[in-house]
Amino acid sequence: MQWGPFEKGELKDEAHLDAIFAKYRPQAVLHFAAFIEAGESVRDPQRFYQNNVADSLALLRVMQLHGVDKIVFSSTAAVYGNPLYTPIPETHPFAPLNPYGHSKLMVERILADIALAKGLGYTILRYFNAAGADPEGELRENHQPETHLIPLVLQAAYGKRPNIAIFGTDYDTPDGTCIRDYVHVADLASAHVLALKRLLSGSRNLTANLGTGCGFSVREVVDTVARVTNRPIPVRIAERRPGDPAILIADPSLARSELGWAPAYPELEQQVRHAVNVLNGTRPLQG
Ligand SMILES: NC(=O)c1ccc[n+]([C@@H]2O[C@H](COP(=O)([O-])OP(=O)(O)OC[C@H]3O[C@@H](n4cnc5c(N)ncnc54)[C@H](O)[C@@H]3O)[C@@H](O)[C@H]2O)c1
Ligand SMILES: O=c1ccn([C@@H]2O[C@H](COP(=O)(O)OP(=O)(O)O[C@H]3O[C@H](CO)[C@H](O)[C@H](O)[C@H]3O)[C@@H](O)[C@H]2O)c(=O)[nH]1
């Protein structure tokens, strides 16, 4: 893999952003930076709104200063809240359950308003559950603290935690546990490349879901990790986690038709295999 230059900085440091824009003269921005832990956003909403909304405004100010008028923004399925129906199309009503989801929806609104007022070109990508790891074995996720299901199940498989807690087994789903649409991080990356090319070609603004359209339950995730790692996984049944919808499955048809996007790694097993390969420092074995 060939990497571009890396500059570390804070969105709110407008002088630094200004220098970076002057140095590289970008044509467009891919905006991933955000606080992402929903539970933390409930405990400290101001910090989330400051970081995710106010600091995004700082980025948009610097973009405008440098005449950069194209942006791809990382949004989330959390804007839909508890879905009224699945699969979820982009036209589904918004009802975020926490400040994290609200903060993303606010930035979506800001982008649409600036597009109307100043002609900003944008693509908003609403990811469902990001999963997997770099298929080439170089990159993986590393959250501190980790709250996402798949990396936690992997920790349980390798004895780095005593067990995995399943948050609720009484949901209205076939096995009683929550269902999510896991989308491989490499497929998220390819959607960004397609979105960027489309934006640069002057196409109209777009808001699109990124998911596979298939759902897997928490138990299915645990079973898949057990199968891939060939290790037993101690499970603890726990209370429901507040704010968790029973089922979140994307209708990804807009991303397919508008971006020509089709996930290369829609299978949960393959996503888990890539995460395991990187975790163990091994190069990809299969697929
Ligand atoms: N992981 C998922 O399942 C998921 C799902 C939907 C949407 N998203 C969105 O995708 C994006 C990336 O998520 P991720 O899972 O890689 O999260 P992450 O926490 O691994 O990465 C976010 C990065 O942004 C940086 N950052 C945060 N605020 C910043 C600021 N003000 N200035 C500069 N840097 C800042 C953090 O230091 C971190 O490196 C986020 O916008 C998130 O909301 C993620
Ligand atoms: O220890 C755990 C951790 C999670 N879960 C369950 O596993 C499922 C997935 O949970 P994650 O925390 O991995 O992911 P979320 O669905 O909560 O949220 C993720 O996807 C959302 C969009 O779908 C948001 O974007 C959010 O930022 C992102 O973390 C949920 O049903 C959750 O209750 C457990 O049972 N035990």
- 218-239 pLDDT, tens digit per residue, is 999 999 999 999 999 999 999 9
Asked if the 131-183+211-286 domain carries CATH number 3.90.25.10, the reply is: yes
Indicate the top mutation candidate among 41, 94, 147, 148 to test ligand 2's pocket, ranked by most ligand atoms within 8 A of CB.
148
CA distances in angstroms from 39 to 48, 57, 107, 135, 208, listed in the order given: 11, 24, 19, 30, 25
CB 223 within 8 A of CB 61: no
For the segment 56-92, what is each residue's pLDDT rounded down to a tens digit? 999 999 999 999 999 999 999 999 999 999 999 999 9
pLDDT at residue 282, as a whole number: 61
Angle separating helix axes 55-65 and 99-118, nearest 10 degrees: 20
Angle separating helix axes 14-24 and 55-65, nearest 10 degrees: 40
CA-nearest of 66, 49, 67 to 12 is 49
pLDDT at residue 286, as a whole number: 43
Contacts of 33 (CB under 8 A, 6+ apart): 11, 55
Cα(32) to centroid of ligand 1, in Å?
Answer: 5
Q: Quote the ipTM score.
A: 0.97
* Helix or strand holding residue 127 (H, E): strand 121-127
Instruction: Give the pLDDT band (50/70/90) at residue 285.
Output: very low
Instruction: Give the pLDDT band (50/70/90) at residue 283.
Output: low
| Domain chopping of the chain, boundaries | 9-127, 131-183+211-286
Instruction: Give the pLDDT band (50/70/90) at residue 137.
Output: confident
Mean pLDDT score of the chain: 95
Exposure letters 99-129 (e unless 16+ CB within 10 A, then b) = bbbbbbbbbbebbeebbeeeebbbbbbbbbb
CB 206 within 8 A of CB 111: no
Query: Which atom from ligand 1 is nearest to the alpha carbon of 100?
Result: 43
Averaged pLDDT, 164-184: 98
Ligand 1 proximal residues by C-beta, below 6 Å: 10-11, 32-36, 51, 55, 74, 76, 127, 129-130, 143
Q: Report residue 168 CA to chain centroid gap.
A: 23
Instruction: Inform me whether the pLDDT recorded for 129 exceeds 90.
Output: yes
The residue whose C-alpha atom lies closest to atom 22 belonging to ligand 1 is 33
pTM for the whole structure: 0.96
Judge residue 167's burial from the number of C-beta atoms within 10 Å of its C-beta, 0-12 exposed, 13-18 middle, 19 or more buried. middle
CATH number, span 9-127: 3.40.50.720
